[in-house]
């Protein structure tokens, strides 16, 4: 936590509890935090800045929303297998980031997937892919296959 006259975030505390829903109007979440107050600088009605760390950055596999299909209760992508044959892959998805979805399971880094022309391809077909690189961050390219 940082008070108005402090630099950096010198005060350390912990989250005691969190509300179980997000306010849809403001996008905010109510947290109750506890901070030591040995110097008696914290008083009721005081405004402060609080930085809440979530987790360390980690490499994550992203695919375009356009490449994801739904088959009854599961999500899938069409990937390229040996000799550019189309392969059906069930995937477990996470959250969305700028039109891309996090893939938790079902694909590996370097796998090529079909993004365009999904209505024309079926598992087992041979395709002539046009490779494209899509990325949110230019330092971490994600290979996508187009038809």
Question: In angstroms, what CA-CA distances link 135 with 78, 97, 104?
Answer: 19, 11, 17
Neighbours of 101 (CB within 10 A): 20
Summarize the confidence of residues 32-51 as an average pLDDT.
91
Query: Is 62-146 assigned to CATH 2.60.40.10?
Result: no
Residues 6+ apart with CB under 8 A from 146: 114, 115, 116, 117, 129, 130, 131, 132
User: What integer pLDDT is reported at residue 143 of this predicted model?
Assistant: 43
User: What integer pLDDT is reported at residue 35 of this predicted model?
Assistant: 94
User: What integer pLDDT is reported at residue 75 of this predicted model?
Assistant: 93
Q: Reduced to 3 states, what is the DSSP secondary structure of residue 119?
A: helix
User: What integer pLDDT is reported at residue 137 of this predicted model?
Assistant: 54
For 57-94, how does the pLDDT look when each residue is reduced to its tens digit (9 = 90+)? 778 888 888 889 998 889 999 999 888 899 999 999 98
CATH 2.40.420.20 placement within the chain: 62-146
Decide if 102 contacts 140 (C-beta within 8 A). Answer: no
Summarize the confidence of residues 1-18 as an average pLDDT.
91
Residues 6+ apart with CB under 8 A from 119: none
User: What integer pLDDT is reported at residue 135 of this predicted model?
Assistant: 55
Q: Reduced to 3 states, what is the DSSP secondary structure of residue 86?
A: strand
User: What integer pLDDT is reported at residue 98 of this predicted model?
Assistant: 78
**Token match 């230019």: residue?**
138
Question: In angstroms, what CA-CA distances link 59 with 37, 74, 102, 133?
Answer: 38, 24, 10, 17
User: What integer pLDDT is reported at residue 141 of this predicted model?
Assistant: 45
For 94-144, how does the pLDDT look when each residue is reduced to its tens digit (9 = 90+)? 888 778 899 999 998 888 888 888 888 888 888 888 877 665 554 444 443
């Amino acid at each position: 936590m940082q008070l108005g006259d402090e630099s950096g975030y010198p005060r350390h505390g912990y989250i005691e509890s969190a509300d179980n829903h997000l306010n849809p109007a403001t996008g905010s979440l109510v947290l109750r935090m506890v901070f030591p107050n040995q110097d008696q600088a914290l008083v009721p009605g005081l405004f402060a800045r609080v930085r809440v760390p979530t987790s360390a950055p980690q490499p994550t596999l992203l695919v375009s929303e356009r490449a994801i299909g739904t088959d009854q209760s599961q999500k899938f992508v069409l990937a390229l297998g040996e000799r550019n044959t189309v392969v059906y892959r069930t995937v477990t998805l996470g959250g969305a980031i700028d039109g891309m979805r996090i893939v938790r399971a079902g694909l590996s880094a370097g796998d090529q997937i079909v993004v365009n022309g999904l209505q024309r391809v079926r598992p087992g077909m041979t395709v002539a892919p046009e490779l494209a690189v899509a990325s949110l961050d230019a330092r971490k390219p994600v290979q996508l296959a187009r038809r």
